[in-house]
């Protein structure tokens, strides 16, 4: 899943270093919204603004964890 998410997001966010340990600080509001929208569509889950916390978007691993938890709930 991690590789797939990196591939998906790197196409939409070419300026962002997705391997960063401080991913949230690299993002702007467009980046945050793009991640929420792309992952919602790709995995059939509903990611909303309240999911876009600095903790959930800290690294690519925390993003994977957020998606896995949503999938488990829905």
What residues line the site for another protein (CB under 8 A)? Answer: 10-11, 14-15, 24, 27-34, 36-37, 47-50, 52-54
CB of 68 to another protein, least distance (A): 19
Distance CA(5)–CA(64), nearest Å, equals 8
CB of 71 to another protein, least distance (A): 18
Closer to another protein at the Cβ: 36 or 66? 36
CB of 59 to another protein, least distance (A): 16
């Amino acid at each position: 899943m991690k590789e797939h998410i990196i591939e998906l997001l790197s196409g939409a966010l070419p300026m962002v270093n997705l391997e960063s340990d401080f991913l949230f600080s690299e993002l702007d509001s467009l980046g945050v919204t793009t991640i929420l929208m792309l992952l919602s569509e790709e995995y059939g889950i509903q990611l909303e603004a309240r999911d876009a916390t600095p903790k959930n978007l800290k690294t690519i691993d925390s993003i994977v964890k957020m998606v896995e938890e949503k999938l488990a709930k829905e």
